[in-house]
Structure 1
Amino acid sequence: MTKVTAGQIIKTFEKWAPKSFAYDWDNVGLQVGSLNKPVENVMVTLDVVESVVDEAVEKKVDLIIAHHPLLFVNLHQINVDTPKGRVVQKLIKHDITVYAAHTNLDVAEGGVNDVMADLLEVKDRRPLIPTETKKLVKLAVFVPDSHLEMVRDAVSGAGAGFIGDYSHCTYQVSGEGTFKPQEGTNPFIGEQGRLEQVREKRLETIVPQEKLSEVLQAMANAHPYEEAAYDLYPLLNEGRTFGIGRVGQLEEPVSLKDFADKVKERFHVSHVRVAGNMEKTIKTVALLGGSGEKYIHKAKRSGADVYVTGDMTFHMTQDAVEMGLNVIDPGHHVEKVVCAKVQQYLEEHCNENGALKVLLSEVDTEPFAIQ
């Protein structure tokens, strides 16, 4: 059975969380090892610390996919007498490749912030801090009636035709196409040197700019003609907006106290820090996985009644409360909730032949304990 490589796994993973989503200051992607590494066992973890690497060695893991980058600050030397140096040495010694998906997984739909929002049942959500809006292209391709359904399904399957929560959005107009096959051609319909008239459909659909090459390839593969006739039009319509954090609504208003209890329960943490009026009614929620204190003003301007994020400091929390924004800090480590989603994605998209085993790290990398 042919083994998949780390590079093949990462290529598929980055269709969900492309590196282009990451912030400029971030260090995502390959951290240690080789993308040519054949992989049987993958382990998903929040952090890459020595105990996690020991676990990977014991379980014969070939590839670690982590949320937090192992190499975040520039290394000027690999001193194996330091904790970081020992980790790098051990990874190289045991031929384990490490890949990190950090802010790109925060931004990605279904990533860290959406998993957190799902657990808290936050609906009708949007990015808290938009980072980019995708460009759209109109594709118009001319298809013989006999192959309309085949071409439509092919381009839709490659990512065209999405409008909001609707897929396969197309428009067809009937008409008549003409062409004359020249010398050296092998026409699907007609003969060389003779003008042909064919009943065709003009199939129109919307394509995200970043998926255009895949859609055109799928169109060409499904189209019966040697040379498919098609037009591309840049659109002023705004595509889907991506960003970090989420803002949305609860189904029913609750008190800050009750919502804090829900955060504690759903994120499986021993405690949360809460600031604000415990009897305050909560309906609109802003959240951001990791350290989000610098975005308290964004959260307030979003209309949020409460901001759920980690690593809130004393003075920033005071400022938030003074401006009327309640705060719940469940800790930075709650980002671990995305690990199961990563595992699920890899199992569904990278394991067609059943040769890949995807594990969740069982090491608790939370550095804090409540005494």
Structure 2
Amino acid sequence: MEVKDFDFYLPEELIAQTPLKDRTASRLLVLDSKTGGINHRIFSDVIDFLTEGDCLVLNDTRVLPARLYGTKEDTGANIEFLLLKQNENDEWETLVKPAKRVRKGTVVSFGDGRLKGICKEELDHGGRIMEFQYEGIFHEILESLGEMPLPPYITEQLEDKERYQTVFAKHRGSAAAPTAGLHFTVALLEAMKAKGIHIVYITLHVGLGTFRPVSVDDIKEHQMHAEFYQMTEETAETLNSVKKSGKKIVTVGTTSTRTLETIAHANDGVFKESSGWTSIFIYPGFEFKAINGLITNFHLPKSTLIMLVSALAGREHTLHAYEEAVKERYRFFSFGDAMLIL
């Protein structure tokens, strides 16, 4: 199966540049994975498709204000950094533009000099290992100097940083938001709980893989970048109970899906408290052991995300749904509309 098999036509004007004022006001395309049937609703209607005893799984990662702008101490050249993953102590894996200006030993100053970075190692594709020096608390400095790492297809400024966070964001560490979760409000989640729907949380910190396109023709040759995940004992027990009862497990976002499938595949379909790194790549032919449904946004053509959706709903059903979404002028990508697959 080739990457071109997951291409589709998308008019540029359908790429959402700003979030809606009301998170739940986005449109919702409901796709029947068995028949390919399509139903057009609004996102707040998602509660109608879940019943008492079902379980909704949310990713509670919190996005770091991970885009930093600095200057080289020796030349004053402007450099842009994107923090991707913290290694030991104050070393971080970063993406750098322009990377050719940052070599091993380069010192970069940020803001008023409260933060400095020294390049310790040069990686492929513009990656650099940077060691940061500072006084005080790193995350407080980052909050004051950093910007939200909006994807490159969003060109407008974000007025409120919290609109690129879910309302349940808790554990800092992501280089991008789990965007399917952006549609939920506290009120909607409370309404689901009142209906008897279980709400559980996992953590997966979105990393470098989000920013790298598939560069091979045969999708089986693509290597996913590892991302850190965590599942608590409480979440695992709830999921096992729901699965045993025969009710639905519906993940919110591809990140939640990848976390659950990683754990289920490692434990013969059973959920267990665990943490680690996953590089699982889900594409058509994948055997799902964890989930029964998925809430997700509309993804980029030829991306690993649309491949995951195609694995669950079927490639033909998925591409037909995307064609319908384009025809009906749905909004695409991070701040766009949503799809529910059951």
User: TM-score band (shorter)?
Assistant: under 0.3
TM-score by length of 1: 0.24
Structure having the higher Rg: 1
